[in-house]
Structures are given as C-alpha cells and as structure tokens.
A and B are shown apart, each in its own frame.
Chain A
Amino acid sequence: MKAGTASFNMKRVVKTLATLHTFWVLLILLLLCIGFSIITPPGTFLSTINFKSLAADSSQLIILTIGAAYLLISAGIDLSTGSVLVLDTVLTVKLILWLTSFAPVGLALALGALFAVLLGIAIGIVNGLLVTKLRIPSFIATLGTMGATLGFARLASKGTNVPGVPRELMRFINTEVLGLPIIAFMALFLVILASVVLKYTRFGLHTVATGSNIESARRAGIKVEFTQISVYALMGLMVGVVAMIDLGRFGVASIAAHTTDNLQAIAGAVIGGTSLFGGRGSILGAAIGAFIPSVLRNGFIILGLQPFWQEVAVAFVLLAAVYFDQWRRAQMQKIESQMSSTPANEVTAPSG
C-alpha cells in the first residue's frame, strides 16, 4: 500500500518535472518578448515586420536544433554543424552555377537541392562512422570534421564568399504564406514530423534507448551503431535543408557565417530540456529553446546594444539550463533512493 502511493506520487512528480521544463522555457520566451516589447520604442520589436524577420531568422536555427536534439538524446553531439553548412552552401552554389550554364534553372536548382541534402547526409554518416567504427568520442570526432569541412570550404571558395544564387531560389525561399515566411512553415513542419518520429516510431525509441543506456540497448538487440550513424545522418539532412534556405535568403554562400551555429543549436536543445547526458529530450522544447537566442539578438539589435551581448546572454541561459538539468537529475536520484528505502523499512517490521 505504502509503496503503491509512493509510486503514484512519483509518477506525478516525474510528469510534472517533464512537462515543467517546456513550460518554463515557453514562459521565459514570452517574458523576453513582453520585456522587449516594453523597453523598445513602439513599432520596432512589436511589429509585423520584426515578427516576420524573427520567424525567418529562427527557422534556420530551429531546423538545426532538431538535429542537435536528436543527437543529444542519442548521447552524441555534433560540433561540425556550422562548418558543414558553410561547405554545403559553397559547393552547392558552385554546382548550381555550373549546371545553369547548360541546363534550365529549375533543373539546376532541383539537382542542387538534392546535392545539398546528400552532401549533408554523407558528412553526417562520416561523423557517425568516426564515432561508432573508429570509437572516437563524438566531441573530438566532430571537432575534427568541423576543422576539415571549413578548410575544404575555404579551399573550394578560395577564401571568399561565393555569390550568384539564381533569383528563382531567392524568390521561392522568401515567399510568404498566410503572412509568414514559407521557411517558418518548413521549420514547423519538420519540428512536428521530428517530434512524432521520436515519440511514436521504432527509430525514435531506439534513439532514446541508445542514449539512455547503450549497453542495455545493444543487449536488447537494437543495432546501436546503425542508430547512432542514422542520427548523425539526420543532422546532416537538416544541414542540407538549411543550406538551401540560407542560399535562398542571402543569395550568397558566405564563408565567414555560421561559426556559432553548432553551439547555438546545442544550446537551443539544452535550453529546451534535452539532457546533455542522453536518453531524454523534447523536440518541441528544443524548438522553443532555439527561439530564445534569436529573440535576444533581435531585441539587442533594436535596443542598439552591441549584438555581441547576445552571445553573453545566450551563454548564461545555457548555463542555467544545464544547471537545471543537473538539479533535476539529482532530484530524481533523491526520490529514487527514498523509493528503494521504503520497501526495506516494510520488511524489517514483520521480520523483527
């Protein structure tokens, strides 16, 4: 009886803690928006135009954050995201430029998009193989690919930006649907899809199980290495999608951009309640978490502060999120030890 009620409370506590995080992150996001609305001049932060640009700015990061969240849940990490993105944009522009010299633009863009996605996936698979087959810790493996891909990007572009993205792509990416940028809908679609896949499919379960306890997952017959490689490939897929969006928005493959995308994506996921230690996370939370850096930057720019303050602010939010995660784990363990001590007490009573 006693153990039963304790378990019931436990269940409630767990549920509350799990839902709490997404709730808190959403609340912080809303407070930030309200705060900026009040302290910025009227019609700046709180305006349709700014809201649209905020949505457009966040969309790219949100898509990358989906990949980062999956990786963290599987107990991996990818530091190469931004560099792979730069390489992907550089090579894709070059391919599209070459293709348009003899093929219709539509075909060139379609092939370019296919290439962008496949290149992202291919580099993701390389990351996955480094981690699983060569057993290099993911932190170091992706640090390696981060350097290598950025080097290749600079070699391929001779260190300068590569312009010349066809207008058709720019027109498409900057289209608005129902008053919002089309890429915001792309991001929303991917968030929902990724969330459903994580919760309801075998791949999702295997990702969580691998991150939760890799040895248990392996013994249960899960192909853990295949799962890990797939998750890195998924990150690569997201990079490929973002590469096309980036080219369409800015019309140029910029060699100096995206230097902090990797950390921003990880920060977004962690702020959104994804554990750095694997096994736990929410795609919806990660998407909301990814919004916070964008809102901060946007607000700071409007306030006329140096945008670099955003980096400082994001760092603090990230630290707070990780601290919260640790604290939550400690709480769980406390509850757990109380749980296991309860039956022991029950046993001593009848035997004594």
Chain B
Amino acid sequence: MMDSDIAGPEKSPLPVLKARNIVKRFGHVQALGGVDFELHRGEIVALVGDNGAGKSTLIKCFSGVYQADEGEIEIDGMPVKIHSPMESRHYGIETVFQDLSLAPDVSVAANVFLGREIEKRGLLGKVGFLDYPEMQKRAAEYIREVGVNLPSVEIPAETLSGGQRQAVAIARARAWASKVLLLDEPTAALGVRQTEIVLKIIKASKIKGMGIVVISHDLPSVLKVADRVVVLRLGRVSGNFQAQSVTYADVVSAMLGKEFKV
C-alpha cells in the first residue's frame, strides 16, 4: 500500500483546474446547471453521483469532447476555452475514457504512442518512418511504472485482458498528462483484484504532481484513494467533502438529494 504521507496532497494555492458556473444543455435537457469545481495538484477527487447526474458530461467539458454553454475554465489560473480533445491535451489534460480508446489491432506500444509517434532520426524520420524500438522501450517503461506485467508490448491490444487494457490506457494517459488526469469509470469492467491494481496505479500517480479526477460508481473503492469527494446531483454539486472525514452515508444522502453546504 502507498504511504499516505508520500502521496499526500501538496496543495499549491492556485488550483490546477478550476471551473465556474459550468452549464451544458442538450436541446431542452440541462445536463449541467452551473457547476463549480476545483482541483489541486497532487489531489485525487472522486466525482460521484447517480446515473444522469452529469459526471461524465462535466469531465467531457474538461477533455474537450463537449464545450460548455456557459461558465469559465481556468488551468493554473489562466482562463481557457477547450474546443477539442487536442486542445485539452495541449493544456496538459489527459482523459481515460470509459471505452479506453485503444485500437484493438494495433500493438500496445503503438497504442501508447498513437498520435504522438516517435520518428526515426534523420532522413527516414522526415518521410514518416517510425522508431518502433524506441517506442517499445518507452511504452514498456510506462507500463512498468504502473506496476503491471505484460508479456510484451508488441502484441495487439485486443489480446490483453480487461484489466491489462485499463492499465495500458492509464499508463498512456499518465505518460502524457502534465497537469490533470481524468478517469471515467476506470474500474467499472474489472474484477476485484484488477480493481485493486488500478486503484493502486491511481494513487501512485499523485506522486507525479497531477490533479486527478476519478468518476466511479464504486463508492467504497473510490473512497479508499480519494482526498476529496464531490457529489453531483441533477447537474449540480450537492456535496463536497474531505474524504478523511466523510462517511459512506453522507455521500449517499448527497447523491440522493439531501443538500449540504458547499
């Protein structure tokens, strides 16, 4: 287990990610009705809520899949507009989507570097030849960092188990994220032991000084790793607790509608 002292949040005064009054509508449906959100470096925030509470919508506003209709987003105190996933990545935000976004026929190493391939040096690189040995070496490192053993990084992603795929997706996001790591239901499809491994990876990622947001239905698990719990209900924040002092019952009642002062 991770020592909580090492992984403890080293709070800088300025949140790495700050959102004010985020509103997102889909036609007549208001998915987010003015959400305020803060995330600090080295902090893990669990984003929880019932189905349709707006968790995924909020994360997708940060990762550039959706654009908020109203509200402001600040990265390290700088106001930004995030129009696309590419822009989100440009700001140092990486997302592990629920469907993992791996290309099944492509090797693990190439998946880790997909869209950010390393070219060979010299003329061959200029015409688009890729340095596969280097990518394999680094991909293996990234995956080792998350503490998972794969037989090889040259095998296609589709030959991996669900937990291994999740580990690869997180390793990829961790390798590229400099500020914020967003995880949408990272343990939803996993068994007990694999969930443990993934939680360990998430907790260990704090050392890299990123702010981490984890969406999960699995309250007991996510409470184990989170520093703070933000509860969404019907597109609004209905609870914001320090994980150390919160009880399971507090979170559930916030999810179900008992208002807490934020």
Contacts and interface: CB of A to CB of B under 8 A. Distances in A.
A279 B114 CA distance: 14
A51 interface: no
Contacts of A317: none
Given A212-B103, A216-B103, A219-B85, A14 B159 contact: yes
* Residue from B106, B110, B151, B163 whose CB has the most chain A CB atoms within 10 Å: B106
Contacts of B110: 205, 209
Nearest to A340: B161
B86 A201 contact: no
Contacts of B161: 3, 339-340, 342-343
Contacts of A209: 103, 106, 110, 114
A4 B114 contact: no
Given A205-B106, A208-B105, A344-B191, A219 B97 contact: yes
B132 A208 contact: no
B103 A221 contact: no
B32 to A, nearest CB: 21
B114 A280 contact: no
A213 B102 contact: yes
A202 B117 contact: yes
B52 interface: no
A203 interface: yes
B209 interface: no
A336 B159 contact: yes
Contacts of A221: 85-86, 89, 114-116
Residue in B85, B128, B163 with the greatest tally of chain A CB atoms within 10 Å: B128
Contacts of A216: 100-103, 114
Contacts of B79: none
A279 B89 contact: no
Interface stretch (A5-13, A29-37, A235-243, A289-297): A5-13
A308 interface: no
Contact of A220 (B101, B150, B156): B101
Contacts of A340: 161-162
Contacts of A339: 159-161
A4 B164 CA distance: 12
Nearest to A223: B115
B71 interface: no
Contact of A219 (B101, B158, B193): B101
Contacts of B207: none
Interface in B109-163: 110-111, 114-117, 119, 127-130, 132, 149-152, 155-156, 158-163
Interface of A: 3-4, 7-8, 10-11, 14, 200-203, 205, 208-209, 211-213, 215-217, 219-222, 279-280, 332, 335-336, 339-340, 342-344, 346-347, 351
User: Considering the complex of A and B, which 5 residue pairs feature the smallest CB-CB distances, nearest first?
Assistant: A221-B115, A279-B105, A220-B115, A220-B114, A212-B105
25 contacts: A3-B161, A7-B155, A11-B151, A14-B156, A14-B159, A200-B130, A201-B130, A202-B129, A205-B114, A208-B103, A208-B105, A209-B110, A213-B101, A213-B102, A216-B100, A216-B102, A217-B114, A220-B111, A221-B85, A221-B86, A221-B115, A222-B114, A336-B158, A339-B160, A347-B192
